[in-house]
Structures are given as C-alpha cells and as structure tokens.
Structure 1
Amino acid sequence: MAKVKLLIAEDDVVIAHNLSFSLEDMGYAVCQVVSSGEELLLEVHKHNPDLVILDITLEGKLDGIDTAAILSKSSNIPFIFMTALSDKETIDRAKLTKPHAYLVKPFDVRTLQSSIEVAIHNASSRLQQPATAVQPAVGAANPDGATPEETGNYLLHDALFVKVRNRLEKVALGDIVWAEAQDIYSNIKTSQHVYLVSQSLKNLEQRLPSKDFMRVHRSYIVRLTAIEAIEDNNILVGGKHIPIGNTHKDALLKRLQII
C-alpha cells in the first residue's frame, strides 16, 4: 500500500529533523526536506508529494507565503502552513493563498496529524470547476456517462483516499482489482486488502477512470487488466469468480482483444 508522501520546508535543522521523524512514526513517507522556497519549487515536481508542509520563515528570497502562492499557480498540491507568526498581517497574507491549514507553533503531533488528514481528504474530494471551459447544462453527461457534478476534476488522479479507523490511507488506482456493492456501501479489493467504503457502487464507478475499469455486473466493477480468464458467464479476477451481467457482456467483450 502506498504511503501518503509529504514534503517539508523548514529552515531550522533541528525542527525539520524532529518533524520528519514524528511524521514517519505516524506512518507517512517524508520524501524530501528543504530549507528554502526556491528549493521547494525545484523539488516538488520531482517528488510529486500528496501534501506540502511549509514554515512561513524560510531561507532565501521567498518566504513560505510567497512560495505557496507560486506553488498554487503551478500545481494542485495542497499545503499547510506552520509558523510562530500569528499577527494579523501575516495571517491576511497567508489567507490569500488558500492554505488547507494554518498551524501556530508550538503544536502537538495529534493536531498536526488531524490537520494533515483533513487537508488530504478535502484536497482529494474537492471539485475544481474549470475557469474558462464552457459548462454543460445541469444533468448533462460527459463521455464517461457521469454528470459534471459527480465527476469534477480531482486533485489526485492516480489514487483514492480510504478512511481506515482514524486515518485516511492512500490506495493507488493501479492496485485496485475489483469493487463490489454492499448495500449502500462498497468493498474495494486490492492485492493486499479489502476496504469497506461509504460510497455506493454507482458513485465509486464515477470516480474510477473508465479506460481502466468497467462495470460488468450490477454488483461488480473490475479493472480490465486484472482479468485472468473468462469462463461461461464468469470472470476470474484475483482468484475470485465474478459474474458477468447479461447487459454488460457484449460491451465487455468489445473491450478485450479476442483471437
């Protein structure tokens, strides 16, 4: 299972070191620690983190707020400010960049963790409306069959975040084998785990890319590349026999190369 990747910008070596250890103890992956805004802007596109945590006071010409403003224009990566500054002028500057959280030092690890989890959850589910695109009529379907309100433009296109106990775990789309309806919930199966999520199969179908996934039964979605065999009216996926619905069989066969 892929860990949530965090990039830290902090100019105090001791604080950066302790923060990195604390985050790794929580189960996150710290992909890089930098001390300046300029370095952050160079490294962020190399590592593509899920979240950036940055101090407002940094080395170099760019402070944390300047850096965040540039970052928000060049990417959709969410970010959290951490700082000892709580004056109105600084907060007003920070608000213009629309951070996902603003933590005033000192703060405890539980506050940090909850801020990270909320920030990632909001970032992964927030709908982004294109500023220049012509908006379809309400209820109009896109090429995948889902309405604009249902699909949106998610910040992370290669993963879902699934709530497990008191944390959100990153599940790469490439690891998902199949999904199964469970009343108003759904099971998501990866090679290692089965997750119960509070989404109907219909809603989940709209979040999974149609080029990789397909509804094959009223109760099942499968990843096409995970199909091992087709026998009669069943698909073998990850060692599980999944039924093929009559209304889906022809469409499924058209997606496969049969010789």
Structure 2
Amino acid sequence: MAKVKLLIAEDDVVIAHNLALSLEELGYEVCATVSSGEELLLEVHKHNPDLVILDITLDGKLDGIDTATILSKSIKMPFIFMTALSDKGTIDRAKLTNPHAYLVKPFDIRTLQSSIEVAIHNASRSQSATTTDAAAAPNTESPDHYLLHGSLFVKVRNRLEKVELEDIVWAEAQDIYCNIKTQKHVYLVSQSLKNLEQRLPDNTFMRVHRSYIIRLTAIEAIEDNNILIGGKSIPIGNTHKESLLKRLQIL
C-alpha cells in the first residue's frame, strides 16, 4: 500500500533529519528534505509529494512564505508551516498563502501528525469538489474517500490510507456502499458506486455493469459476457457492452 508522501523544507539539518525519522516511524514516506525554497520547488516537481512541511525561515532568496505562495498559486500543492516566529506581522503574511496549518515551535510529533491528516483530508476534498459539476446537487453522504494527485484516500478507522488509482482493479456496489478492490486489499467505503464513478477518471475507468466499475488496463480477457480480472468474472451489462467494445483494440 502506498504511503502518504511528505517533503520537508527546514534549514536546520539536525531538525530536518530528526523530523524525517519521526515521521517515517509514524508510517509516512519522506521523499526529500531541503533547506531552501529554490530547492524545494525543484524537488516538488521531481517527487510530486502529497504534502509539504516547511519552515518560514529558509536558506536562499525565497523564504518559506515566498515559496508557499508559489506552491499555493502555481502548483496547487498543500502545505503546513512550522516556525519559531509567532509575531502578528509574520502570521498575517503567512495567512495570505492559505496554509493548511501553522505550527509554532516547539510542537510535539502527535500535533504534527494530526495537522498532516487534517491537511490531506481538506486538500483532497477541495480538489475533488473542483472536479464535480457545479450544478450537481450537494453530496449528503459521509465522505470516506478523497482524490489527490492520482490517488484515492480511503478512510480506514481513524486514518486516511493512500491508494494509487493505478492499483485499483475494480469497484463493486454493495447496496448504498461499495467495495474498492486493489491488487492486495478490498476497501469498503460508505459511498455509492455512482458517486465513486463521478470521481474516477473516465479515460481509465469504466462502468461495465450496474454493479461494477473496472480499470480498463486491468482486463485480462473477455469471455462471452464476462470480463476476467485477477481470477474474478465480472458481468458486462447489456447497456454497456457496445461502449466497452468500442474502447478496446480488437484484431
């Protein structure tokens, strides 16, 4: 299962190293630690993290707030500030970048963990909302999954677990819920299959039956009116068969 990927920007090498170790012990992946805003922007494009944790005081010409402004406006990357600066001027300047959290040092690792989970949650919901038709009725169901950077965040007990879209093979309706099947796991989420379908990219996923969505590249064979994926036989609905065949390269 893919881990939540974090990038740390901190100009104190010792603090950055200790923070990275603590976060990795909590189950996160720290893809890089950098000391300057310029280096951060390069590493963001290289690693495409789920969240950036950055100090306001950084090496180089760009401080943390300058860098966060670019993350917010150009890259649309969620971020958390951590800083020893708590004066009103700094806070007012930082607020303009819309951070997902502002932590004043010293703080404990559990506080940071809570801020990370909330930031991922809120950023994912925000991105999902922007891809939904503005004229659609509000979704009143309790959201248990969130889209972000080609991934699906599934709520499992008290945490959000990251699932890459490319790992999903099919989804199956279970009354008002649905199962999401990956290569190694099955997740039960309190969303209807219809709502899930609206959130998955239609160039990769397709509804093939009133009870099933599949990832097209996961198809192993088609036999009569069934699709074979990983040893499972998935029926093809009559209203979906023609559309499915049009999307396949048949020799």
TM-score by length of 1: 0.87
- State the identity as a percent: 82
Structure 2: how far apart are the matches of 1:204 and 1:129? 15
Structure 2: how far apart are the matches of 1:99 and 1:120? 12
Structure 1 residue 204, shift from structure 2 partner = 0.4
Question: Is the Cα contact below 8 Å between 1:77 and 1:155 reproduced in 2?
Answer: no
Residue among 181, 191, 194 paired with 2:186: 194
- Name the counterpart of 2:220: 228
Give a deviation string over 1:214-252, Cα, whole Å, max 9, x none.
Answer: 111111101111111222222111111111112112221
AA aligned opposite 2:106: P
Structure 1 residue 52, shift from structure 2 partner = 0.4
- Name the counterpart of 2:210: 218
Q: Does 1:79 align with 2:79?
A: yes
Structure 1 residue 157, shift from structure 2 partner = 4.2
Q: Does 1:119 align with 2:124?
A: no
AA aligned opposite 2:231: G
What is the DSSP-based 3-state SS (H/G/I as helix, E as strand, rest coil) of the residue aligned with 2:115?
helix
What is the DSSP-based 3-state SS (H/G/I as helix, E as strand, rest coil) of the residue aligned with 1:16?
helix
> Can you give the 5+ residue segments of structure 1 that lack an aligned partner in the other structure?
131-135, 140-146
- Name the counterpart of 2:177: 185
What is the DSSP-based 3-state SS (H/G/I as helix, E as strand, rest coil) of the residue aligned with 1:85?
coil
Which has the larger displacement, 206-215 or 232-241? 232-241
> Can you give the 5+ residue segments of structure 2 that lack an aligned partner in the other structure?
140-145
Give a deviation string over 1:38-83, Cα, whole Å, max 9, x none.
Answer: 2212222111111100011112232211111122222011000011
What is the DSSP-based 3-state SS (H/G/I as helix, E as strand, rest coil) of the residue aligned with 1:248?
helix
Structure 2: how far apart are the matches of 1:148 and 1:223? 27
AA aligned opposite 1:116: I
The change in CA–CA distance for 1:29 and 1:239 in structure 2 (over 3 A counts) is same
AA aligned opposite 1:174: E
Q: Does 1:39 align with 2:39?
A: yes
- Name the counterpart of 2:55: 55
Structure 2: how far apart are the matches of 1:70 and 1:252? 42
- Name the counterpart of 1:250: 242
TM-score by length of 2: 0.90
Give a deviation string over 1:4-55, Cα, whole Å, max 9, x none.
Answer: 1111011112211110001101111111101111221222211111110001
CA RMSD across the alignment:
2.1
The change in CA–CA distance for 1:77 and 1:222 in structure 2 (over 3 A counts) is same
What is the DSSP-based 3-state SS (H/G/I as helix, E as strand, rest coil) of the residue aligned with 2:250?
coil
Query: What pairs up with 1:23-172 in 2 under 5 angstroms?
Result: 23-127=23-127, 139=135, 156-172=148-164
Give a deviation string over 1:150-188, Cα, whole Å, max 9, x none.
Answer: 8xxx97341111112222121111110000111221111
Structure 1: how far apart are the matches of 2:40 and 2:15? 17
What is the DSSP-based 3-state SS (H/G/I as helix, E as strand, rest coil) of the residue aligned with 2:97?
coil
For this pair of structures, how many residues does the alignment match? 243
Give a deviation string over 1:78-111, Cα, whole Å, max 9, x none.
Answer: 0000112222111111100000111111212221
Structure 2: how far apart are the matches of 1:36 and 1:174? 33
Give runs of ≥4 in structure 1 deviating > 2 Å. Answer: 127-130, 147-150, 154-157
